[in-house]
Amino acid sequence: MVKRDKGKTVSLGRDCRLSSPSLSNSLIKGITSTGINVIDIGIVSTPILYFSLFNMDVNGGVMLTASHNPGDY
């Protein structure tokens, strides 16, 4: 993203599963290690993350979710 699109910042949303905060922290560390900034928008629905792509100063977004899987995932 940085090389191809000159992107610098992504928004990151997550679901409300118990594992989401620790997974989110690890993902943020990984993304920022590549030189990309992360704006953590917290627990949001996928449509809200999509909304952030057009209403925040970001170049992309990541939704951390287990989607349709049972709550223990």
62 CB-near residues (< 8 Å, 6+ apart): 10, 11, 12, 13, 27, 31, 49
At 43, list the tokens: 């627990």
Per-residue pLDDT reduced to its tens digit, 12-47? 999 999 899 999 999 999 999 999 999 999 999 999
pLDDT of amino acid 73? 62
pTM of the model: 0.87
Q: Would you place residue 67 in the very low, low, confident or very high pLDDT band (cuts 50, 70, 90)?
A: confident
Average pLDDT score over residue span 51-72:
89
Measured in degrees and rounded to the nearest 5, phi and psi for residue 9 equal -140, 140
Q: Point out the residues that are catalytic.
A: 67
At 42, list the tokens: 């917290």
Q: Would you place residue 5 in the very low, low, confident or very high pLDDT band (cuts 50, 70, 90)?
A: confident
For residue 33, which of 5, 2, 4 has the smallest C-alpha distance?
2
Q: Where are the domains of the chain?
A: 2-42+57-64
